Amino acid sequence: MPQQRTALRHKNLFALAGMVLNLAVLPAGHATDFPPTIDLADLVGNGAMRLDGVANGDSTGRAVSDIGDINGDGIDDILIAAPGAEPAGLLSGSCYVVFGQTSTTAATLDLNRLNGSNGFRIDGETSGQFIGDSIDRAGDVNGDGIDDLIIGARPVFAGAFTFVVYGRSTPFPAVLSVSSLDGSNGFRIRGRTHEVRAGGDINGDEFDDLLIGSEDPLSDPSGFYSTAYVVFGAPSPNAAEVVLTDLNGSNGFRIDGEPVLNPDFFGTRVSEAGDFNGDGFDDLIFGDPGADKTGYNSGSAYVVFGHAGPFAAQLSLSGLNGSAGFRVDGPMLESYLGTLVSHAGDFNGDGLGDVIVASDFAGAGRPRGAFVVFGREIVTSGTIGLDELDGSKGFLINGQFTSINSAGDLNGDELGDLVLANVTAVPNGNASGSTYVVLGSNTTYRPVLELAELNGVNGFRLDGAFQEDSGTSVSSAGDFDGDGVDELLVGVRRSSANGVTHSGAAYMVYGRYQLFRDDFE
């Protein structure tokens, strides 16, 4: 069965007894349990571990992700991408799998020390492959009860592939080349991609599916609209290669962007959406920041509901009428809504999956922010208006963001939390970057949450160092240390903290609530 990425687990030891998480401004003098702002560097060895890249220019941390339990030991693992690494030539790229462990006390970990027992490295096979530009957990694609992972590549001058690596309970080598994937240990997907993500189990067959956003407008030779793909999970051994253009409805299907007057960007951002409408099937969300529904480049996001099938080889978004899915449109021209999309876990605790939609480059004077849309069992229209998000149906997090994701459950209250980042923020100088955590709540919301209102009770901010692009990518880390509370990953692609220029790093912030108390107040 598909696993819930939100990992909403309960642990009384770390519960915030009596804490009411309210997004309204708290009365003056109200004591907070979390400091509102923390420098990431201050947490290393005392609430966080820094995982360091290897070589100059590796860009380690460009993408980070939880991947579930890939080695079957009962503890969640993580994946960190270094697309600038050169194991097989210029920009061939590497990705690092780090196994979770219950006894870790290290302040830092050099990723070149992974030896197969504590994790392993996945290498590109040729120059310019740039693997790791996009990564994610894949769920259990082959139905063997162990989680898998997916790695995207945006090749500079190499063949276009996505790679799926199967999890297993037998040992992994210290280094695994994607050239070794033969259908028994994983496979490759041929076709140019922009973003790869887990798709959950959208057809209810108990195999998790894969979601691929493509840059190639295969359905429209004019190049005015692009394409995304769903690849259905299936038992292994499988074919060593799947070709996206061969998807026929039985093994997956294609979703085309709607025709527009100008080139759009449909499929540049894709994500699972959890079970938004509560029908037992996982759903999908797609961003199209170039859509023109309410004005030039106003942008849109599309939620497509899963079902038992059958599926046609091609899905038209114009058929979304509320029963099959819906669309959220940007408020005005040049809003570019849909530049960022993600599932949001179950943020408000109603048992339904929520989603978050944002823009990272709205035009001057245009509204910026991330819109959280709460799941609902009945969707009566093919569109949900942003003006409906009155606090009861969702809300706006007002700010500029370059990355958004679900954070899992960081404080053990069984509610999904959110993580949003802005690499252009300047808390510690140029391009230091900030990451914002908004804690889930089942109380009443206001329509708008200002970042300045994060006060330690409803969320907090993590700041990077000068010119390190902290928050390049953000993700839950799952329950990496097996204590029942999720951890947080923050990618820092230009970090030189280990003395190697721009080798990059990822910070894993442990999700024990006590971490944010007296030591950092």
The pLDDT-based confidence of 349 (bands split at 50, 70, 90) is very high
pLDDT at residue 413 greater than cutoff 60: yes
pLDDT at 442 over 80: yes
pLDDT digits (tens, 9 = 90+) for 302-347: 999 999 989 999 998 888 999 999 999 998 888 899 999 999 999 9
Query: What does the pLDDT read at residue 445?
Result: 81
pLDDT single digits (tens) 76-88: 999 999 999 999 9
Which of the four pLDDT bands, split at 50, 70 and 90, describes residue 1?
very low
pLDDT, tens digit (0-9, with 9 covering 90-100), for 82-123: 999 999 999 999 999 999 999 877 999 999 999 999 999 999
Average pLDDT, the chain: 88
How many angstroms separate the CA atoms of 280 and 385, rounded?
25
Range name among 53-67, 221-235, 286-300, 342-356 with the lowest pLDDT average: 221-235
pLDDT at 352 over 60: yes
In the numeric block, which tokens belong to residue 217?
Answer: 């407008």
Q: Cα separation of 282 and 275, whole Å?
A: 5
d(CA 268, CA 262): 16
pLDDT value, residue 463: 99
- Is pLDDT at 262 greater than 50 in this prediction? yes
Check whether 3 has a pLDDT greater than 70. Answer: no
Q: How confident is the model at residue 431 (pLDDT cuts 50, 70, 90)?
A: very high
The answer to whether residues 399 and 424 touch, using CB atoms and an 8 Å cutoff, is no
pLDDT-derived band at 9 (thresholds 50, 70, 90) equals very low
CA angle 314, 315, 319 (to 5 degrees): 145
Delimit the domains of the chain by residue range.
Answer: 12-520
Top mean-pLDDT range of 184-188, 266-270, 316-320, 361-365: 184-188
Our CA angle for 422, 391, 459, nearest 5°, is 40
Work out the average pLDDT over 2-20: 34
Cβ distance 52 to 503 under 8 Å? yes
Give Dmax over CA atoms of the chain in angstroms: 63
pLDDT of residue 192: 83
Distance CA 434, CA 469 (A): 9
pLDDT digits (tens, 9 = 90+) for 138-167: 999 999 999 999 999 988 665 689 999 999
Helices (H), 177-221: none
Residue 165 CA to residue 159 CA, distance in Å, equals 18
Residue 297: pLDDT band (50, 70, 90) is confident
Q: What is the pLDDT of residue 401?
A: 96
Residue corresponding to tokens 């894993």:
508
Q: What confidence tens digit (pLDDT) does each residue in 505-520 have? A: 999 999 965 444 434 3
Res 13: pLDDT: 27
pLDDT at 6 over 70: no
At 309 the pLDDT is 84
Bond before 237 cis per omega within 30 degrees = yes
The per-residue pLDDT for 260 is 60
Class of domain 12-520: mainly beta
Percent of the chain with pLDDT over 70: 86
What is this structure's pTM? Answer: 0.91
The gap between the terminal CA atoms of the chain, to the nearest Å, is 42
pLDDT at 359: 87
As a dihedral over the C-alpha atoms of residue 45, residue 49, residue 53, residue 56, rounded to 10 degrees, the angle is -40
Q: What is the pLDDT of residue 238?
A: 85
pLDDT at residue 5 tops 60: no
Q: What are the phi and psi torsion angles at 14 (to 5°)?
A: -110, 10
Identity at 90, one-letter amino acid code: L
Say yes or no to pLDDT of 257 above 90. no
Pair 368, 418: CB distance under 8 Å? no
